[in-house]
Each structure stands twice: as C-alpha cells, then as structure tokens.
Amino acid sequence: MLMEINLFGLPDIIPTLLILVKYSALITSVANICLLAGMLYVYMERYLKVKSKFTTTLVLFASLFLIQNILFSIYFLFSIPETLFNAILPFIFLGLEFTALTLLLMVTRE
C-alpha cells in the first residue's frame, strides 16, 4: 500500500495542499483587496460626477472594507495558522466576503 502511494506522488501533494490551506485566508484576502480596489475606482468615478450622499457612503463603504482586508492580509502574513482548523475558519469568512463582493461588483458595473 505504501509503495502505491509513493508511485502516485501523494506524499508530495499532501504537504503542498496543507500549505495551500494554511495560506488560503491570505490568498482570499488579497483577492478581496483586488475586488475592493475595483469597486472603489467605480464608486470614486461616480462620486466625482454625482457627489451625492449615497455615492459618498459607497466610497466610505469600499474604503473601510479595503482597510479591513489590508489589515487581515498583514495579520495573516505574520501569523500563519498552525492548524488546519485555525486556517479554515478565516478562509470560510473571507470566502463568503469574496462572494458577496463579487456579486456587488457585478451589480455595480451594470
């Protein structure tokens, strides 16, 4: 059995997957930063044209989420989770945030 695992290269894949899971929160946080930068660009463009309370609120909303994700990224960069359980919970939170931001950006671009 052990011989079969070595033939397929699974011992090399499993540590790589564990590392990927540990860095998944950082990767998702960076993806959120990219989405928020796009949203902030669109909102700033609209704010310069309209200058209403609603567009001001959208700019503040995107800015605060951007600051939050930058702080998350810095935190995860210097404090990589040691266990898989500690790595998966932030990933779920940031993954749901990524999904929500993607939907919001899609609606914003229309």
Structure-token pair, residue 43:
């909102």
Provide the pLDDT for residue 81.
78
Distance CA 66, CA 49 (A): 22
Provide the pLDDT for residue 8.
58
Helices 53-78 and 24-50 meet at what angle, rounded to 10? 160
Q: Which residues contact 29 (CB under 8 A, 6 or more apart)?
A: 69, 72, 73, 76, 94
Provide the pLDDT for residue 11.
62
* Each residue's pLDDT expressed in tens, for the chain with a length of 110 residues: 444 555 555 566 666 777 777 788 888 999 999 999 999 999 999 999 988 999 999 999 999 999 999 998 998 888 877 777 778 888 888 899 999 999 988 888 77
- The model carries a pTM of 0.78
Distance CA 69, CA 27 (A): 11
Provide the pLDDT for residue 1.
43
Structure-token pair, residue 1:
């059995």
Provide the pLDDT for residue 86.
79
Maximum separation of any 2 CA atoms in the chain, in Å: 68
